[in-house]
Amino acid sequence: MRSFNIPLHLSLANSLYTQTALNGGVSINADFQQPKAGYLVSFKDGLIFDSISTVNVHKLSGFIKEHLDMNLYFGGWIDQQTKKVYFDLSINVPDKQEAINLAIEKNQLAIWDLNENKEIRTK
For 8-48, the DSSP string reads HHHHHHHHHHHHHHHHSEEEE-TTSPPP-SSEEEEEEEEEE
pLDDT digits (tens, 9 = 90+) for 39-86: 999 977 799 999 999 999 999 999 999 998 888 999 999 998 999 999
> Rounded to whole angstroms, how far apart are CA atoms 47 and 37?
25
pLDDT of residue 18: 96
Residue spans per domain, the chain: 8-121
What are the backbone angles phi and psi of residue 112, rounded to the nearest 5°? Answer: -115, 125
